[in-house]
Structure 1
């Protein structure tokens, strides 16, 4: 049985599943090279490089009645596949009869390995809903589901809202229709206040530790709900800070007028700190509510806020007795995986939990084709030891191998690597990647050594880089380039089984330095998607100051002339 699922909207994606196995999952931006791209037509074409027919097309959307609304554009995917089919095969189209948050829940639950779970979903706007209680369009903010196999997602708590002034309604127990903004939307508002696009909230997460508690800044919550006085809703796209209403903010705005940001003020940093603290605390309250309403000890966190690795670690600290799974493909792209898995279990009644072991979901490329791509360049045979020594000498080295990572985290297949012991390493690599000065970097560490360096709150691993964990005392002096100002680092634990070549490279660096860790960041420049093909990788090197690319599958080291040689 072959299922092709597509997620439309920003973070558009395609998931191809054959007999229950993901053949590939890919975000459209990796092929189009436009960040956050939607309409995954290129992904659909890529799918038919792997199969000559499909049995089911699943379209994931933000309107339950989507296929009946021409303006949504959803019908175009069915038409596109029919053109590809050209009467050679027939297929069934399913416009998933789930709300957006249910698709997030399906992605997280089926990947968690849990038999049953409470799913806590939080993102910006979710599905666009209509309810008889109010005439306005409503948007999903936070939802709790009780999930069971094969396809049971019982809604036990929900908050939806609108930009209209409608007050507070509870039409049935634990279903709330309000004028109050969701906490992900408030996070986006502060993201914009600090000069970033709303969709780049991860930058705000990096800025937050530079702030401090500031009681002069109004709280983002009142009696457990978003502060409407502080937030001006402009849903579904975003929300704005109502700076004019608060003198401390209106005065601060004089130093960073819209469209202009030379550096961040102390107030901006304190705003970032406050929204991070208050929204993560609100998520903890939702987890407590999920346990109360479902009796579950298994918790799945998904939706856009699920990528907040600082909050994710807070859940570990707060709830040591809960089994918490934070889905690594939490953003909207992951809903194509959720849609495919939901359809699979709908058709098969399969109740066997299968934990997601890897997110290396990209297309498989033939390493033999790399030789042609690098012909004429400065190429030499190499070893793990050679590459480790090159990194130790202070060189930035990229690694390109195998299938690309699903989601936003680079996990050793499309990564930029550096020596974590170099004191000003963060500034060096931020400069080369054209990133903001304050943004921290992640690291990869041999799994068996992780407890010597970091506090995982009793957990054994974090293979998908989903938690900003605290380092042990003194570690910040040993690997300063990857430890953030709050003494945390977003880490990836690595084993040979998980990623053989990458593990052996880290091990080689360990033998040279006594440090079983590599500085790891995504293989891209600021504002660009992660590289997908070797041609993308070579173009990135040619237009940057990075010289080296390591191809472990053929044990070649490529040195690329770039703009630093001009």
Structure 2
């Protein structure tokens, strides 16, 4: 019996992606931005991501049995657009295949796809599911139940009550931009929260505190979709609430630190709202496992609060909870409908395109860079020694991570013992100085550095935790101003090469962690290919050496290992 392939896609308004399943098992997931090199792939269909997934599986478009889409545009007027006809989908996803007979198409509601991406991937038969994002077809927040391979949505909150839009609008108010939500979260640690944020927890959930807003015209919804149609109205309705807090006006030229108290207040409001949702969900669904997805699940401070609340024994967030993950969720829903299957337990994030040693050597040679191949043990020893000497290392080995966190496949690495590592990396990447960087630490030694509970999200650097007071002077570069860190626990079985590097660093220094931040410069997506890595290395002179597969790359022969 031949294999059955399901291709899942996100063809939404940003973060487009593709995921390929073979008989229900995940083969590959590629985000369009990684291939096109346009951050968030705004307005881009995932044609290049689709081609990359098919190439990794060694198949062509004609081998795909089902196309699963992580939106159901048929529910909204936008679905009448010609882009979503059979011919439109063919042109969008398979632009060089004019004669292709399209596979069957399965439209999966956006929040069902989000929920499935988490629930099917966490290796459990039953879970409570929580989806919190900007906008689905008509909803922004959903709670539900996963059981017997099915996602049941129990309650939804409309787009006008979007917690994602609330946080995006707050980031814009603080002058950090629509995509500056991570910056706002980092800034919040410097402030003191006040009561009265324009979101409040209520029995059974939450509600936004909004001024009356203009009605969104149906024509605008039909032409732009829920994200672009509703966001301006929701943001405008929240501005009076934001203006109640110092500095009482949206930021223009003032330093961001003036908005620290505002950021802390907004963050506290989000955390209280999500805790209220989780409390209601636990009341309705008596299971110890919470599966969480949606763009708001990238808020690691909030996830840390959820983990520590003890409402659930286990909290699972997939490595790609954003809209890029609905390609996976849609494919899983479709595969399940074809009959019983065993979904892939996603306990690592390495499902992207590979960087091989051969590709690294070729890219280095084309750029005129010195390079030398090493064995695994020698590579780990050499790089650990260079980090301990204070050098910044670009690290690109194996298959790339999925999601917005670098997790030891496309990373910039440095010494956590030196606070200047934070400064140097922020300068290198063009980031604000108040933004933190994170540690990758050996899972078996995490308790030496972190106090309290760590759960599944720490595998993907998705939950903040408290650094032990006695460890803060050991790892100052990754300790935030409030004593927190965003740890990644590294497991030998899922990334042995990265684990070996950190183990070598531990043996040299006594510290079982390294600084890990994403391998990219300001405005760029995380590097994907060996060519991307070499290009970034040549532009950023502050990166001291580069590792591509098993090859060390330097600017001169004298810097190569003996």
Distance of aligned partners of 1:460 and 1:241 in 2 relative to their CA distance in 1, 3 Å threshold: closer
Secondary structure of the residue that 2:372 maps to in structure 1?
A: strand
Calculate the TM-score normalised by the size of structure 1.
0.86
Matched residues, number: 522
Counterpart contact for 2:318–2:346, Cα < 8 Å: no
Counterpart contact for 1:397–1:549, Cα < 8 Å: yes
Q: Deviations over 1:408-440 (max 9, x none)?
A: 010101000000011222122101100111111
Counterpart contact for 2:448–2:471, Cα < 8 Å: no
Higher relative contact order (CA 8 A, sep 6+): 2
Q: CA RMSD in A?
A: 2.6
Q: Deviations over 1:123-156 (max 9, x none)?
A: 11111xxxxxxxxxxx312111111233x22221
Which residue in 1 is equivalent to 2:358?
368
Partner Cα distance (2:237, 2:275) in 1: 24
Counterpart contact for 1:66–1:74, Cα < 8 Å: no
1:21 deviates by: 2.5
Q: Which runs of no fewer than 5 residues in structure 1 stay unpaired?
A: 128-138, 163-180, 562-566
Partner Cα distance (1:284, 1:402) in 2: 38
1:286 deviates by: 0.7
More helix per residue: 2
**Superposition map of 1:350-389 within 5 A:** 350=341, 352=342, 354-375=344-365, 376-381=368-373, 383-389=379-385
Partner Cα distance (2:242, 2:53) in 1: 52
Secondary structure of the residue that 1:403 maps to in structure 2?
A: strand
Q: Does 1:343 align with 2:334?
A: yes
Counterpart contact for 1:111–1:356, Cα < 8 Å: yes
Q: Does 1:77 align with 2:81?
A: no
Q: Does 1:325 align with 2:316?
A: yes
Partner Cα distance (1:519, 1:548) in 2: 15
Counterpart contact for 2:295–2:321, Cα < 8 Å: yes
Counterpart contact for 2:31–2:49, Cα < 8 Å: yes
Counterpart contact for 1:100–1:126, Cα < 8 Å: yes
Q: Does 1:413 align with 2:413?
A: no
Q: Does 1:393 align with 2:389?
A: yes
Match of 2:256 among 264, 281, 301: 264
Calculate the TM-score normalised by the size of structure 2.
0.86
Distance of aligned partners of 1:334 and 1:478 in 2 relative to their CA distance in 1, 3 Å threshold: same
Partner Cα distance (2:109, 2:281) in 1: 19
Distance of aligned partners of 1:14 and 1:196 in 2 relative to their CA distance in 1, 3 Å threshold: same
Decide which moves more: 402-411 or 462-471.
462-471
Partner Cα distance (2:36, 2:241) in 1: 42
1:19 deviates by: 2.5
1:70 deviates by: 4.0
Which residue in 1 is equivalent to 2:224?
none
Which residue in 2 is equivalent to 1:228?
210
Counterpart contact for 2:428–2:542, Cα < 8 Å: yes
Which residue in 2 is equivalent to 1:171?
none
Secondary structure of the residue that 1:301 maps to in structure 2?
A: strand
**Superposition map of 1:58-457 within 5 A:** 58-61=68-71, 63-65=73-75, 69-71=79-81, 73-75=83-85, 76-80=88-92, 84-85=96-97, 90-96=101-107, 98-127=108-137, 139-150=138-149, 152-162=150-160, 181-215=161-195, 218-221=197-200, 223=202, 224-229=206-211, 235-238=229-232, 239-240=235-236, 243=239, 248-249=244-245, 252-253=248-249, 256=251, 260-266=252-258, 268-319=259-310, 321-350=312-341, 352=342, 354-375=344-365, 376-381=368-373, 383-457=379-453
